[in-house]
């Protein structure tokens, strides 16, 4: 795949994202053959977008998340400014086909983690973290049957990136907590409540953050100072629809919420 093909594939997927429509699969001539080509397609989002890259998301860090999209391991995606909203935002539901919300730990990076030959350890990555935030991700896919297209096309499709709400900065005491054991409660109005733990995110959200730093490094990308990394759902994704209010409670670390417009 060359850069012209990668750009064409990205433009096709962005068009479906903006129109709220779906495609069965990328055309054969624009379909990435593996992760390297998939990330090349995804990277074109930064040239299509008129606003800067805000950070990264990790999809499929839990068994439930992997089953939901039909993969056997995590995928990295980009957080574009167009996707990110403030705590308490009212979002448009539109034609979202995944119809779930996810409660997530999000880390703000304080210094660059550039590509290197030696893998980053968890402590290396945590030393580069400036802050922790509670967050909610609302994923979606541009594929009509996202569970069957495979990891490469899902990465090209920005790892199911769609909408993201960043909560307030958590107290600095988060560093003293066992994030793997930390309970998280997600609610959809008064009709649905689920509890999860940080351990549902690749065993620990800090492990997921290290995975992302090394995934980017492996493919020649920098995890940059100021960027946000949201690490994947802590609980079984919450089923949502138009008009729903969604909240995620992280105990002493704070909470975050959003609402979907009725229409």
**pLDDT digits over 119-153, tens only?**
999 999 999 999 999 999 999 999 999 989 999 99
C-alpha separations of 180 from 183, 198, 200, 251 in Å: 8, 4, 8, 14
Q: How confident is the model at residue 50 (pLDDT cuts 50, 70, 90)?
A: confident
C-alpha separations of 103 from 161, 167, 228 in Å: 14, 11, 15
Looking at residue 187, what is its pLDDT? 98
What secondary structure, in 3-state letters, does the chain show?
A: CCHHHHHHHHHHHHHHHHHCCCECCCCHHHCCCCHHHHHHHHHCHHHHCCCCEEEEEEECCCHHHHHHHCCCCCEEEEEEHHHEEECCCEECCCCCCCCEEEEEEEEEECCCECCCCCCCCHHHHHHCEEEEEEEEEECCCCECCCCCCCHHHHHHCHHHCCEEEECCCCCHHHHHCCCCCCEEEEEECCCEEEEEEHHHCCCCHHHHHHHHHHHHHHCCCCECCCCEEEEEECCCCEECCCCCEEEEECHHHCEEEEEECCC
Looking at residue 246, what is its pLDDT? 98
Q: Are 205 and 105 in contact (CB under 8 A)?
A: yes
Please state the rounded mean pLDDT for residues 96-115.
97
Q: How confident is the model at residue 66 (pLDDT cuts 50, 70, 90)?
A: confident
Looking at residue 49, what is its pLDDT? 83
Q: How confident is the model at residue 63 (pLDDT cuts 50, 70, 90)?
A: confident
Looking at residue 228, what is its pLDDT? 98
**pLDDT digits over 29-45, tens only?**
999 999 999 999 999 99
Looking at residue 234, what is its pLDDT? 95
65 has a pLDDT exceeding 90 = no
User: Whole-number mean pLDDT of the chain?
Assistant: 95
Please state the rounded mean pLDDT for residues 186-199.
97
Please state the rounded mean pLDDT for residues 205-227.
98
Q: In this structure, what token pair is assigned to residue 262? A: 């009725």
Q: Write down all domains in the chain, each with its CATH number in brackets.
A: 52-260 (3.90.850.10)
**pLDDT digits over 167-183, tens only?**
999 999 999 999 999 99
Distance CA(179)–CA(252), nearest Å, equals 12
Nearest to 211 by CA among 202, 224, 199: 202
Please state the rounded mean pLDDT for residues 71-88.
94
Looking at residue 37, what is its pLDDT? 98
């Amino acid at each position: 795949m060359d850069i012209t093909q990668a750009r064409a594939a990205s433009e096709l997927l962005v068009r479906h994202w903006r129109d709220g429509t779906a495609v069965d699969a990328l055309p054969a001539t624009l379909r990435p053959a593996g992760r390297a080509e998939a990330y090349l397609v995804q990277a074109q989002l930064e040239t299509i977008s008129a606003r800067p890259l805000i950070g990264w998301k990790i999809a499929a860090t839990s068994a439930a998340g992997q089953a939901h999209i039909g993969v056997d391991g995590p995928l990295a995606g980009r957080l574009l400014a167009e996707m990110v909203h403030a705590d308490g935002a009212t979002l448009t539901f539109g034609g979202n086909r995944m119809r779930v919300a996810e409660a997530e730990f999000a880390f703000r990076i304080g210094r660059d983690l550039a590509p290197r030959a030696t893998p980053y350890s968890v402590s290396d990555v945590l030393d580069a973290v400036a802050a922790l935030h509670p967050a909610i991700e609302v994923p979606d896919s541009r594929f009509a049957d996202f569970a069957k297209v495979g990891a490469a096309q899902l990465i090209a499709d920005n790892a199911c990136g769609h909408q993201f709400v960043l909560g307030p900065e958590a107290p600095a005491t988060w560093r003293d907590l066992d994030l793997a054991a930390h309970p998280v409660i997600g609610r959809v109005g008064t009709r649905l409540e689920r509890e999860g733990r940080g351990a549902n995110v690749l065993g620990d959200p800090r492990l997921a953050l290290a995975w992302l730093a090394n995934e980017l490094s492996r493919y020649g990308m920098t995890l940059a100072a100021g960027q946000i990394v949201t690490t994947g759902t802590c609980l079984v994704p919450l089923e949502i629809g138009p008009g729903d209010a969604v909240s995620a409670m992280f105990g002493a670390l704070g909470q975050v919420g959003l609402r979907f417009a009725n229409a």
